């Protein structure tokens, strides 16, 4: 019989994430996260997957254009949203761990 996927909702979020490469952030526990930008119906979202990436791999993939288009950091505020380096707030849509892979989905809060 096949094992069912295990999905756990997490409530302890990284305190901060700093950009380390074009698609890589590093958190306060020195874990690396890959990011993917999503735009759904005009809403900007960023999907972050926690993956172990070596510093050598990060150094080989730095592209200044990509580094300037994403926030250089995110900082957890009040436990439920992030403030980025551009002064924008992002809500945590979900933070889960499924089949051993941690995923966090952030959504830009419209300031209008």
**Mean pLDDT, residues 51-71 taken together:** 61
CA contacts within 13 A on the Cβ side of 83: 5
Domains, the chain, with CATH or none: 7-108 (2.40.15.10)
**What is the value of pTM for the model shown?**
0.82
Percent of the chain at pLDDT above 90?
A: 61
Residue 90 has a pLDDT of 96
Cα(30)–Cα(40) distance, integer angstroms: 30
Residue 65 has a pLDDT of 43
Q: Which residue has the tokens 């380390």?
A: 20
């Amino acid at each position: 019989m096949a094992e069912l996927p295990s999905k756990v909702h997490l409530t302890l979020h990284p305190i901060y994430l700093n950009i380390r490469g074009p698609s890589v952030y590093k958190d306060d526990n020195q874990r690396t996260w890959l990011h993917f930008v999503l735009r759904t119906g005009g809403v900007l979202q960023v999907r972050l997957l926690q993956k172990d990436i070596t510093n050598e791999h990060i150094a080989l993939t730095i592209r200044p254009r990509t580094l300037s288009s994403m926030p250089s950091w995110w900082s957890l505020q009040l436990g439920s949203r992030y403030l980025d380096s551009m002064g924008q707030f992002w809500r945590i849509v979900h933070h889960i761990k499924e089949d051993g892979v941690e995923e966090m989905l952030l959504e830009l809060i419209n300031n209008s």
